[in-house]
Amino acid sequence: MSAFQLEQTYNNFINGEWVKAASGKTEPSMNPANRKEIVGHVPASGVDDLNHAVAAAKAAAKTWRSLTGAERGNYLFQAANVLERRADQVAEAMTREMGKTFPEAKGETMRGVAILRYYAGEGMRKTGDVIPSTDSEALMFTTRVPLGVVGIIAPWNFPVAIPIWKTAPALIYGNTVVLKPAQETAVTAAKVMECFEEAGIPAGVLNLVCGKGSVIGSALAEHPDVNGITFTGSNEVGKRVGASALARGAKYQLEMGGKNPVIIAADADLDLAVEGTISGGLKSTGQKCTATSRVIIERQVYDAFKEKLLSQIQEIRLGDGMSAGSWMGPCASEGQLNTVLGYIQKGQDEGAVLLAGGKRPDSIGLAEGFYVEPTVFEGVESHMSIAREEIFGPVLALISVDSLEEAIALANDSDYGLSASIYTQNVGAMLSFIRDMDAGLVRINAETAGVELQAPFGGMKMSSSHSREQGQAAIEFFTAIKTVFVKS
């Protein structure tokens, strides 16, 4: 494993150079597994820094878009190679900054490598169609053109994969980029940016500006020279980003919350269902937009499923993500820990029955981290906060039902519609679920949190805006269609 240096100072990456914030100010990035450990010091940037980055991206746009897709793809391919070589160091930065276990962080980093290689190849795919004209002497066709400057506002829960799955398609389709990472994981963002720098990305094509979302994120969404904005984060902030973009006619893409259900049918393989529920709901400490939150179980198997679930949850080992054997790390910050504990208290106040967890662990060795025990409630009703609101923590709400129809109706009783899964052996039940479930991702005998890079990603209702991320679907957001008519 590459040696990772703690307490280094990191800068913004603007116009091909590492530069301090104009104010000279920095903020510490803390290890959530041990609040006494400072991972690094990151820029506390202001609007002047953001303006500098947007100007650099705008200046680089014409030259970048004039390259062929293959030429742009080569930069992504080279960045993938560098990231692969540095995967251990990047993964360690991620684990120390946001708390997920090192194996999870390494897996995410390698996913970033795969995404870069995938989009490097997309540079050779056709981007238009020939359309028959009513004029026999004319040629009519479509082509796709880049938006120009794209702003990216990325979250802290997937600090490598999400910025890359936004950046890679933006670049391959000819846009230049200003990336605003979550301040909680700005060290990880800098490590990723170093990979693009080593790959030789031209000055101004990709820029990194670190700072508070209320300052940098807002300014990015409102900037008149930013032609498109793609955001992943909370619904509250996402709505503001979308409104700012809409007000000035910029294109926007929002990926926001989820309250993802899993249905356990009476004929389910219970061992598989328990495994998927635990993995989908508790890995990364439940801090995934696709994490399992509501567990809807047919009454015939409710007791058997609950017994197996609680038995396996008791075996989960909490600990520092860099420690071998740790299965679940801390919440990413003290604020997130307090949010989770607040929802646990709400669940009890509203009448749900606490079956497991519900508090910070007693171990002295975990006292300096933002840990919370894996938590399970039963007796949950659909009006309760823990059944309706996104918690973003390791909290499962068990709900019993009498039929598949009731289960699907309850699963759909949500403002969100990102991911949903069902465990069943019945083909008819599978087809009903696929047809009737109001979610952008529906999964059969698999956890809600699974995502593949070559497939469209996004949700319905309040989970997402209009377009999809990842796969070939990404071209819809990052380009505009131009219709061409040629007559000699």
Question: What would the pLDDT profile of 319-358 be if each residue is shown by its tens digit?
Answer: 999 999 999 999 999 999 999 999 999 999 999 999 999 9
Tokens describing residue 464: 């997402």
Domain 8-256+464-487 and domain 260-453, same fold? Reply is no
pLDDT at 76: 99
DSSP state of 221: H
Which parts of 265-413 fold into alpha helices (H)? 270-282, 302-313, 334-349, 385-388, 404-412
Strand segments (E) across 375-439:
375-378, 395-401, 416-417, 419-423
φ, ψ at 427 (rounded to 5°): -65, -40
- Known catalytic residues are 255
Query: 61 pLDDT band (50/70/90 cuts)?
Result: very high
Q: Which residues of 337-364 are buried (b: 16+ CB within 10 A; e: fewer)?
A: bebbbebbeebeebebeebbbbebbeee
State pTM to two decimals: 0.97
Write the CB contacts of 293 (distance below 8 Å, at least 6 apart in sequence): 258, 259, 260, 261, 281, 286, 390, 391, 395, 396, 397
Q: How far is CA 303 from the centre of its chain?
A: 34
**């749900």: which residue's tokens?**
352
Name which of 459, 439, 339 is nearest 391 in CA terms.
339
pLDDT at 4: 85
483 SS3 class? strand
Per the prediction, the chain carries an average pLDDT of 98
pLDDT tens digit sequence for 250-290: 999 999 999 999 999 999 999 999 999 999 999 999 999 99
pLDDT at 273: 99
pLDDT of residue 363 exceeding 50, the answer is yes
Q: How far is CA 361 from CA 32, 124, 317, 440, in A?
A: 15, 52, 11, 36
pLDDT at 425: 98
CA angle 392–393–398, rounded 5-degree value? 100
Q: Which helix (H) or strand (E) holds 172?
A: helix 161-172
Domain range summary for the chain, segments of one domain joined by +: 8-256+464-487, 260-453
Is 260-453 a domain of CATH 3.40.309.10? Answer: yes
CA separation for the pair 249, 240 (Å, rounded)? 14
CATH superfamily of 8-256+464-487: Aldehyde Dehydrogenase; Chain A, domain 1 (3.40.605.10)
- Angle, helix 302-313 to helix 270-282, in steps of 10 degrees: 50
Cβ atoms of residues 224 and 30 within 8 Å: no
pLDDT at 2: 53
pLDDT at 290: 98
Name which of 239, 186, 179 is nearest 206 in CA terms.
179
CA separation for the pair 44, 487 (Å, rounded)? 55
Kindly state the percentage of the chain with pLDDT values over 90. Answer: 98
pLDDT at 1: 47
Mean pLDDT of 448-473: 96
Q: Which residues are paired to 22 by β-bridges?
A: none
Query: 488 pLDDT band (50/70/90 cuts)?
Result: confident
354 SS3 class? strand
